[in-house]
């Protein structure tokens, strides 16, 4: 299937301020990464919470959609992830709303990329940038993490990724010693890289046999899982009352979990 031609330059009426630039470059990075890896459409679609995290307003989002730079989609299933195109709601957003770049959006983002990368390599959305001197990891102009003090193992891994220009996969750079095996050290480093990110922008994952590591742009926070409530045995006469109590407890627990998730994603 041939892709639609993309114009070399594009002029839009929407002001491209800091949040809009960050959103376009973040989406472009995911788009280019999925394209080079033969990914599907769901690989370059960002959830509502991650889009709003860039700082764009509802009005800016609607302007980008009306100008044909972004496409609004609705998530119909989570595993595997599947979305369908849909018009944005007249007010507010659906919790299942997600967004991706159109061909025109890719063209505009590439225009911004050409100017931004020439001025500052940390703006490159195609790969992260590890600045060892400052102990900072950057992606799409955003600081992903910072080490306040030296962290030998995570920094060694980031040094190796930067040296190889961030390929999708690298071999395990660690060696087994008296303190720890190489596979276990790789798993520990992956966990520390995730903990160091205030907002998840990059995902790292060790291979199943722990002989290598892969990375990709994160797709936003996962939906909270419902907590399972243990059912205590009850006498037959009180069975119906017990079921009602358990159901009510599950509902209250789920509502509390969703409220905490929404407050974390959309702080007042």
Q: Are 132 and 159 in contact (CB under 8 A)?
A: yes
Using pLDDT thresholds of 50, 70 and 90, give the confidence band for residue 22: confident
**Cβ of 70: how many Cβ atoms within 10 Å?**
26
Q: Looking at the structure, do residues 251 and 176 belong to the same domain, yes or no?
A: no
User: What is the per-residue pLDDT across 172-186, written as a single tens digit (0 to 9) for each?
Assistant: 999 888 788 999 999
- 137, part of any domain: yes
Between CA 155 and CA 135 the distance in angstroms is: 8
- 12, part of any domain: no
CATH of the domain at 76: 1.10.10
Q: Are 66 and 81 in contact (CB under 8 A)?
A: no
Of 119, 153, 169, which residue sits at a domain end?
A: 119
pLDDT over threshold 90, residue 204: yes
Domain count along the chain: 3
Between CA 161 and CA 157 the distance in angstroms is: 6
The confidence score (pLDDT) of residue 17 equals 75
Helix (H/G/I), strand (E/B), else coil: 130: strand
- 230, part of any domain: no
User: What is the per-residue pLDDT across 67-91, written as a single tens digit (0 to 9) for each?
Assistant: 888 988 888 876 656 777 778 777 7
Between CA 4 and CA 48 the distance in angstroms is: 26
- Phi, psi dihedrals of residue 145, rounded to the nearest 5°: -155, 160
Average pLDDT, stretch 108-132?
A: 74
Between CA 59 and CA 18 the distance in angstroms is: 15
129-131, strands of its sheet edge to edge: 129-131, 136-139, 142-146
pLDDT over threshold 80, residue 28: yes
Q: Looking at the structure, do residues 99 and 172 belong to the same domain, yes or no?
A: no
- Phi, psi dihedrals of residue 40, rounded to the nearest 5°: -95, 175
Q: Looking at the structure, do residues 152 and 81 belong to the same domain, yes or no?
A: no
- 104, part of any domain: yes
Of 119, 140, 161, which residue sits at a domain end?
A: 119
The region of weakest confidence among 59-63, 133-137, 211-215, 241-245 is 241-245
pLDDT over threshold 50, residue 201: yes
Q: Looking at the structure, do residues 133 and 212 belong to the same domain, yes or no?
A: yes
pLDDT over threshold 60, residue 26: yes
pLDDT over threshold 80, residue 8: no
> What's the domain range around 246?
236-265
């Amino acid at each position: 299937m041939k892709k639609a031609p993309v114009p070399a330059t594009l002029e839009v009426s929407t002001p491209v301020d800091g949040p809009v630039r960050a959103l376009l470059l973040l989406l472009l990075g995911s788009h280019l990464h999925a394209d080079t890896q033969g990914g599907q459409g769901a690989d370059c679609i960002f959830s509502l919470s991650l889009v709003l995290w860039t700082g764009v307003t509802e009005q800016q989002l609607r302007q980008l959609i009306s100008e044909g730079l972004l496409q609004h989609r609705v998530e119909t299933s989570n595993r595997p992830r599947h979305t369908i195109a849909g018009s944005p709601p007249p007010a507010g957003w659906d919790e299942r709303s997600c967004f991706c770049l159109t061909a025109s959006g890719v063209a505009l983002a590439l225009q911004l990329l050409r100017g931004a990368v020439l001025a500052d390599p940390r703006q490159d959305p195609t790969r992260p940038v590890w600045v060892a001197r400052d102990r900072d990891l950057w992606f799409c102009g955003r600081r992903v993490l910072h080490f306040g003090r030296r962290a030998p193992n995570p920094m060694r891994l980031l040094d190796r990724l930067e040296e190889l220009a961030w390929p999708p996969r690298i071999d395990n750079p660690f060696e087994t010693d008296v303190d720890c095996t190489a596979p276990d050290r790789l798993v520990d480093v992956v966990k520390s890289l995730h903990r160091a990110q205030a907002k998840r922008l990059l995902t790292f994952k060790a291979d199943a046999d722990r002989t290598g590591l892969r990375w990709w742009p994160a797709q936003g926070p996962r939906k909270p899982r419902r907590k399972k409530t243990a059912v205590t045995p009850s006498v037959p006469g009180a069975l119906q009352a017990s079921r009602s109590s358990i159901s009510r407890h599950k509902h209250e627990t789920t509502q509390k979990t969703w409220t905490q998730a929404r407050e974390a994603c959309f702080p007042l």
